[in-house]
Amino acid sequence: MNRDDVLTLVREHLAEELEVDISRIEEGARFKEDLDADSLDLYELVMELEDRYGVAVSEEQATHIKTVGDAVGFVLEHAPA
């Protein structure tokens, strides 16, 4: 698993879930401010990351994931080897 693989998954998930053009979803894009995601959208993204990559995301950790890049970095840092 590399950064590009995780980024692709996150971008595809968000494009479908939020019904936005995938070109708007860059690493620096903020979920709420730039992509108009609400708390349910973010919860579903966290669930997808947990299921796909085997990471556990606590509520506290989730509050620190504010951008697409934050989500990708979290997966890379916490995914089992």
Q: What are phi and psi of 26, to 5 degrees?
A: -110, 170
- Active-site residue flag, 4: no
Q: From the candidates 21, 34, 36, 38, which is the catalytic residue? A: 38
Q: Which of 21, 61, 24 is nearest to 42 (CA)?
A: 61
> 3-state class of 30 per DSSP?
strand
Which residue(s) pair with 30 in the sheet? 67
Euclidean distance between CA atoms 12 and 23, whole angstroms: 10
Question: Looking at the annotation, which residues are catalytic?
Answer: 38
